[in-house]
Every structure is written in C-alpha cells, then in structure tokens.
Structure 1
Amino acid sequence: MDTPRIPAPAAALIGLLGVLAALGAGHLAAGVLEPGASPLLAVGNAAIDATPAVVKDFAVRTFGTADKLVLLIGMAVVLAGLGVLAGLLSRRAPRAGQALAVGLGALGMLAVYTRPDLGQFALLAPAVSLFAGLGAFTWLHGRALDVRATDGLAQDRRRFLLGSVAIAAGAGLSGLAGQLLGRRVDVAASQDTVAPVLPRAAKATPIPPGADFAADGTPTFLTPNADFYRIDTAFSVPRLRAEDWELRIHGMVERELRISFADLVNRPLVERTITMTCVSNEVGGPYVSTATFTGVDLRALLLEAGVKTGADQLATTSSDGWTCGTPLSVLLEPDRGALLAIGMNGRPLPAEHGFPVRMVTPGLYGYVGATKWIVEAEVTTFADFEPYWIRRGWGRLGPVKTQSRVDRPNGFAKVPAGRVVVAGTAWAQHTGVSTVEVRVDGGPWRTATLSAESTVDTWRMWRAEFDLAPGGHTVECRATDRSGYTQTAQRADVVPDGATGWHSKFFTVT
C-alpha cells in the first residue's frame, strides 16, 4: 500500500505554521525573560553585526533609517519561504520539517549565546521557540496524514483545520503578548521624572537671530527631536529606566567610579548646542542634525577618575553590547565640551536617542564619540581594544570633515524665471565655517551670505542669489573652515572615515 501523501497546499501551510509557532513562542518567552532574546531579533542583530562596511553603507544609502525594517521584512520572507519548502519536502514524512525546526532553533540559540548583552537564561527563549515549532509542525503533519489515510473523513479534516487555526492564532497572540511584555519597562514615566531636573542646567550660548535661512529652504537651526537623524545598530531600541541606570568608569584610572543617575544629575549640569553628523552621510546627505543637549561634562568625570599615563582611548559600551572607542586626547581637551547627555532640546532624551544617558562629542562622527544607552566606560589603549566599527574596517579617529550641501532648489526642480535664490548648509564642527562659495554651471565662485554663527560646534546656513536664463542649470557649493581648509572636489566614499566632494544639484529655470 502506498504511503499517504499530504497535498502540496496543506504541506506548505504546515511548514509555514510551524515557523510562525516557533517565532511567536520565542517572542513570548523573550518578552518574559529579555526582549533581545527573541530568536528573530537575535538573528537580526547577528546579521547586522556580520554585515561588511560596504553592505552597511549600501543599506543606509538605499533605505535610510528604514534599513532595519527592511532587514526584518527580508528575514520574515526568507523564513516563510523555508517553512513552505520544508513542508513541501515533508509530504510523506516529517523529517525535513523537523530538521528545519531544529536548524532554526540552533541558529537562534547561537545568536542569543553570542550576544554580549544577554545572560544564560536568555537561551530559554530560542529553546522554547525550537520546541514550539517542532511540536506544531509534527502535530499538524500527523493530523494531515490522518486525513489522507482516512480519505478525508469529516472529523479528521475538522481536527486538522481547527488545529491549524489554533496554531496560527496562538502564534499571533504569543507574538503580540511578547511585544507588549517587552515594552513593560515604563520609559515614559522615567522620562517624566527626569524632566524637572533639566532647567537646572547652565544655559547654552544663546542662538542668535538669523541663525538659519529656513524661509529660503534650509533646515531650522535646531532640529526637532522627532526629525533628528538616527543611525545605529540597535535592531530593537533598548528600554532603560533612569532609576536603574549606572555607569562604570574603570580601566587605566586612579580610582574606579560607579555613577548612578541620581549621582549624575547631582553634578553640575550644562547645556551645549551641538551639530552631529553620521559617518555614513553621503555628500549632500541628510544625516546631520543640531540639538541643544543637557548633561554633565565628560572631561570632569575623567579627571575625577584620574587617567593614567599611556591611556589613549575611552572604550564605551551600550546596554545592548555595542562598543565605541574615542580618542582620550579629544575628550580631555579643555574646550572640547563632550557630554554625558540626559536631555535634548529641553526634553529628556528620547529612547531612540539613548535615554537615559548618551555620550556626545563635538567634532567627531557618531561612531567614535556618541554612544547611546551608555553603561560602561573603560580607559584603555587603541592597541588593547578594537571597538565595533573599527573591527569592520572604519577609521579609528573619526573627525568630522568640512562639508556643505545645497538645500534649495531641490534636484530637478523647476524654478520660475527671475532672481533665483540658492541656499544650503555647511558644517565644520569644532573648527567653524569661515566661508561658503557657490557657482552655477561651472562659472566663477561667488561668496555666499552666511547665517549668524552660534558656536564653532554648530552648522551654518548660507544663501546666494543669481540671475539665470531659462534652461537647465547646475549649482555647486564648497565650504572653507576656520583653519583655512577648503573642502576638496575629490569624491571619496563614506568608508572608512567619511565622504568628500562638492555637492551639486541640477534644476531648470522656466
């Protein structure tokens, strides 16, 4: 007698439901134990960690801040495809689907095990995922074979269909419950306790009138928190309470410091307005923003700890295990102004930007000076410690390069004939922008009008006017900083230490 064979549509459904059951159960278990232990998130984080610099740059350039969402969707599609394939290969016997469940479970366990921010108990989440997926697949496969062996008796069909619906519903509810449990840390309530502290800070240099040309198409001088660029490796945003936060400063220091949030805010608080730039910012790109940060002077903390001779790097660690290395020579400059920030534009830091505490270093790209969710700082040497992005081929020191861009007109815009206003933004953090020059169609450079300067750590806007004939035109810009350096026309990729080149836009006068 021939071995019963499950119809292809039912087999595909069984494989897909097995994957869904595994993901839902794993996400629920992670919600109870540790949100980052969810197999899907852990594998996603592992994929991000393994991504070469050129691929990471492509993802940021192509998808922007949606790069992690694209990765998540891609993983879901791949897993669904594997589930369907395993089901189709298991039409007579469940071995292929069972092998997939074990393989995916092992992958999830390996991803969780290698995460530096997860403990051993977190391995329970992928273990639950493995057994749930294996159990759901095996049970449904058996019910489907019963249906086939009995020529589809009504009770067997009903049992299979009800089981399929129950597993699908259970997977969905488990995933939802895991998501809710993972957000059980009440970050908003903790932020509310921080808000009353912020007004105590010594005020930043007042922003002068005319600090931007927003009416002419530039950004506003201060970037609203919701619009501030965000580029990081966090697949899911860490959710920390200020009440639970502690920073350990150790390593090559005279005395180790352990600082709670209450200790931190009892120190002198200051405001500093700082423009930040991502090293992944292409020429003319959007990953540059300005905010007034409130926090504690980092240099003062390092001096209190007592930096030992020979140390040249501050290795900082995020709560999710990400690491950063900052030159101590920069942090110890008397006028550098690096902060452990707790506030942003008069509000507590948003969770996405590092609440409760992040590091901000004027003049350095974020990957070497802006650790979010900071929980550890080790005074060490570059020879003894390689941070996250340095191990992946990025530059070690990360000074922000002098750059400028055209904000108006938009690329390929149609502009009415007459006086054409061209406007844009320039930055040379901690050096200061001296001049910006603009030219149209390769003609002579003209000096643009600059906005009022706030500090050398912030961007400056520029504008210029041209009388242009109807037709297509190309506008270019270049900035010169206070050291006398004029940005080069030579194009360089963002890897390893930031892009260079003149920004240009083509538009049409009608």
Structure 2
Amino acid sequence: MLRRTGRPALTGVLSAALGLAVAQLLAAATRPHAAPLVAVGQAVIDATPTPVKEFAVRTLGTYDKPALLSGIAVVLVMVTAVVGVLSARRPWVAIGGAALFGLAGAAAALSRPAATSYDAVPSLLGAAIAGATLLTWSLPRPATPDRRTFLRTTLLVTGGAVLAGAAAETTRRVRGGAAARSREAITLPAPADPAPPVGVAPGFSSARLYRVDTALSVPRVDVDAWSLRIHGMVEKEMSLSFADLLERPLRERDITLNCVSNEVGGPYVGTARWLGVPLAPLLAEAGVDAAANQLVARSADGMTIGTPVAAVLDGRDAMLCVGMNGEPLPLEHGFPVRVLTPGLYGYAGSCKWVTELELTTFADFDAYWVRRGWAARGPVKTASRIDTPRPFARVAAGKVMISGVAWAQGRGIRTVEVRVDERPWRKAELLPVPSSDTWVQWRYGWDATPGPHTLAVRATDGTGTVQTGERATPFPDGATGWHTITATVE
C-alpha cells in the first residue's frame, strides 16, 4: 500500500517543487513580485477578513508573513501529493492539476495593482514544467520501473528543483544587494531645518521601529531608476528623481509613528528622527485643485494610502522622507522614499516605497485599507503605555519607578497620571520633548507595599481632553482604553 501511494505522492510533490523553483527563478530575474509564492500570498492577504488579519498581527507580530508562506507551502505539499496519487491511475489529472495551479498563480500575479501581462508567465511556465514532469512519471509503461530507476529519476528531479531554487535565491539576493549598494552610496545633505535640540525620545534605532505592512517581499528599489510622479487634480504634473529631492531644502524632525492595529499597550508605535522634503511646498508647485481632498500615495508594490489633503497643508511636518536616524531609509522602512504625515495612523498617512502621488477625492477613490472597512481618515488617538515594570513582574518593596510613554501627535501631552489599585490618580513627571509630534516619556515614583497591585495609566492631551478609559478594538479607527497591568511586590 505504501509503495502504491508513497511513490506517486512523492512524484507529485517533487514535480511541483521543480516547477515552482523554475517559476521563482524566472520571477527573481525579471519581476520579483510575479513569483508564485509571493503573488498567491499577497492574494491571500487581500482576501483575508479584517478580524483574521488583526489576530495574525496581534498574535504573530512580524512573524505573520513567514507563517503565511509556510502555511501555503504545507497546503501545496498536501495537494500535490494527492494529485500525484491520482495521476498514477489517471494521467490526465497531471495536466489538469498543473493547469489549475498555473492559472491560480497567474491570476494572483495579475491581480496585483502594479501588475503587467508578463506577470502571468512565471506561474504558467512553472505549471507547464511541473505538469510535464508528473505526466512523464505517470504515463503507463510496459513494465513498472524498478527501484533503481525510480531513485535515479527522483534524484534528477530533486536536483533540478534544488538547483533552480538555489539560483532563484541567489538572484533575489543579487537584486537586493544592488538596491542595498545604491543605498550605501547615498550621502544625505545636512538639513536646512534641523530638529529642535530639546529632549531625546527613546527608540532612535531602525532595528527598534516596528514594521507592519502587507509586503511579503520587501521591494528592492534602485535609487537611480526611482522617480516620483505627482498628478491628478493639479495644474501641473510633476516628475522628480531622487537627486531632485536632495537638491531641495531638507527638514529634520523627531516624529512618533504608530500603526492603527496597535492594541492598548501594544508595541506598534515608535519614534525616529526623520529627514525629508516638506510635502506642502511640492503640492503648491503642482497647484492643487480646490476640490481635491485626498492625496493617494502609491508604492512600488502597488499599495495605496489615502491621506486628507488638509492634513498635508495645515502646517504639520508632512514629508517625503529620505532619511531615518541619520541614514538613508532602511529597505524595509521604505527606501528610497516614504511619505510621513504626523498625527495620522500609518495606514492613512505613511506610504513606504512611494512612487506616485495622485490628487483626487474621497468620493472618487477608496485606498487599500478603506476598501477593507477601515476609517478613511485615521487621526491618532491619545494613548499611553506602561513600559516598566513589565506585566506580572515581581518587584521589591520600597520605591519603584513606574515609567512609560504617552502620545497625541499634533496635540501633544499635557499630563500623564498613574493609578495604583483604586487609589486616586497621581501626576507623573514628564520629560522634555522636541515637539507635539513626539511621544512623551514619563515616570512616577511609587512607594510599593507588599502584595499584588494593579497599575493603570492615562494621559491628557494638549487640548485638555482626557484619554478615554472605554475599551475599543483597533478596527475600524484605532484602539482605546487605559493600559493596565498587574505586579507583585515582595
């Protein structure tokens, strides 16, 4: 029984592996986003209901994408094993199964916003190779192949799959290396408008800034080939190269960025020192139509982010960022250029790998996340977080320093209060900050007595509005509630 099903199952899996490896190699050498695994994975992400996405981000964090690709691989192995078994009795199944997988991969690739007709080719070619290999293995023969012949064929197909897969990975790394080298060759000019030298916000490290996006494969953009198009409801279309941006006066600011998916007390918020070109003067040069109320940014991978035009033109430090923490943008954070709009969650004001800005209206176009039910505008809500002690920590009795951060970009933080158990709220000390767009570090000295305790924090923004204690999930416009932890004093 094992021989009757084990060998055919193995032939199905290996045939698919060979076809997939060849498809990945072709895509890596030409159009990386047309790779079947990436294209199908992106299609799965697009089709996944919002609650499931939120669960994945909340549970897996930055491991959500590897988990998705691993899941796709497991399903592929299982299905191709079944196809292999069925093909042993009905060879036409090899053709039908390969055609189905090829069409699915091609459809997924063509569904991407920045797709071209060529993007179907890697999946179709890979399917043809997989189908032909499995069909050759499955066709009736005068005699059943002996173990040595089967082993030789298996090694041949496996070797081809491994070589093609290794070549695909090498090609991907070479292309990524070219983008990295173009980044390393950049010398950023000194800012004409440097950041105010008041206070130092934590998190000034690209390694510590969170990353939440839908890109399964980080776009590798060659800065020499990059350009930005500004069009739509404007008097004059504009096209800018990276060199054009660096010739303009650059502004440097310490700005806190946060993801709308962040739960109360969550990690998806961080501060960096950004260097960029102010966006408002660029739009003024283009001449924005008075009826335009939405700025749609498009990234190299086709993502669309819709930002209220008013938020760009109201005096805040909306920028086309070219630098982060004294260096060119890291690849995973949007190199060579990203949009950053203080006071808006990332899904409504921060587009990485941006290549296009279109002036339009909210009535005429829904950006990626809005089509999935998120609020169209996305202003940041007042929030605060306890960083120390950690939840469920055990601390010694006596003076214990409770500390954390609070933010309300654009409005600033007026006060932060801490509550121990059900006692009255007590004001915390606020450390200096460069601007209202930077989170505030706070601390409070607690005379800790033995036993279990509940600690809570709330903030009041610059307008005098107290952070609400009412709990709400991130969907559709950001979480609310007081961050509350428990600690035991010994």
- Taking structure 1 as the reference length, the TM-score comes to 0.93
Q: Which runs of 5+ in 2 are unaligned?
A: none
Q: Is the 8 A contact 1:140 1:160 kept in 2?
A: no
Q: Which runs of 5+ in 1 are unaligned?
A: 213-220
Alignment pair present for 1:162 and 2:143:
no
Q: Is the 8 A contact 1:140 1:164 kept in 2?
A: no
Q: Tell me: CA distance 1:464–1:160, structure 2 relative to 1, closer, same or farther (3 Å).
A: same
Q: What one-letter code is carried by the residue in structure 2 that aligns with 1:191? A: R
For residues 64-463 of structure 1, what are the structure 2 equivalents within 5 Å? Answer: 64-142=61-139, 146=141, 150=143, 153=146, 157-185=147-175, 186-194=178-186, 196-208=187-199, 211=200, 221-334=202-315, 336-463=316-443
Alignment pair present for 1:470 and 2:446:
no
Distance 1:58 1:330 in 2: 30
Distance 2:96 2:452 in 1: 61
Number of equivalenced pairs: 488
Distance 2:2 2:314 in 1: 74
Q: Is the 8 A contact 1:31 1:177 kept in 2?
A: no
Structure 1 residue 200: deviation in Å? 4.8
Structure 1 residue 90: deviation in Å? 3.0
Structure 1 residue 406: deviation in Å? 0.8
1:60-106 Cα shifts (integer Å, max 9, x gaps): 00101111111000000110111112223333233334322211111
Q: Is the 8 A contact 1:419 1:467 kept in 2?
A: yes
Q: Is the 8 A contact 2:229 2:237 kept in 1?
A: yes
Q: Is the 8 A contact 1:30 1:182 kept in 2?
A: no
Q: Is the 8 A contact 1:6 1:92 kept in 2?
A: no
Distance 2:97 2:229 in 1: 43
Structure 1 residue 6: deviation in Å? 6.2
Distance 1:485 1:297 in 2: 29
Q: Which runs of 4+ in 1 moved over 4 A?
A: none
1:5-53 Cα shifts (integer Å, max 9, x gaps): 9611111111111221121011011112201111111011111111222
Helix, strand or coil at the partner of 1:491: coil
For residues 7-46 of structure 1, what are the structure 2 equivalents within 5 Å? Answer: 7-46=4-43
1:129-179 Cα shifts (integer Å, max 9, x gaps): 11111012112234xx64xx63654xxx32321121121121122122122
Structure 1 residue 412: deviation in Å? 0.9
Helix, strand or coil at the partner of 1:7: helix
- Taking structure 2 as the reference length, the TM-score comes to 0.97
Distance 1:200 1:408 in 2: 35
Structure 1 residue 253: deviation in Å? 0.7
Helix, strand or coil at the partner of 2:207: helix
Structure 1 residue 410: deviation in Å? 0.9
Distance 2:358 2:435 in 1: 30
Helix, strand or coil at the partner of 1:225: coil
Distance 2:346 2:325 in 1: 18
Q: What one-letter code is carried by the residue in structure 1 that aligns with 2:276? A: G
Helix, strand or coil at the partner of 1:492: coil
Helix, strand or coil at the partner of 1:244: coil
- RMSD over aligned CA atoms reads 1.6
Q: Is the 8 A contact 2:18 2:160 kept in 1?
A: yes
Q: Is the 8 A contact 1:429 1:456 kept in 2?
A: yes
Distance 1:15 1:441 in 2: 62
Distance 2:282 2:174 in 1: 32
Distance 1:14 1:420 in 2: 64
Helix, strand or coil at the partner of 2:391: coil
Distance 2:266 2:312 in 1: 27
Q: Is the 8 A contact 1:198 1:346 kept in 2?
A: no
Q: What one-letter code is carried by the residue in structure 2 that aligns with 1:502? A: W
Once the two structures are aligned, what percentage of the paired residues are identical?
Answer: 48
Q: What one-letter code is carried by the residue in structure 1 that aligns with 2:40? A: V
1:200-220 Cα shifts (integer Å, max 9, x gaps): 543111142xx46xxxxxxxx
1:490 is matched with: 470
Distance 2:107 2:392 in 1: 49
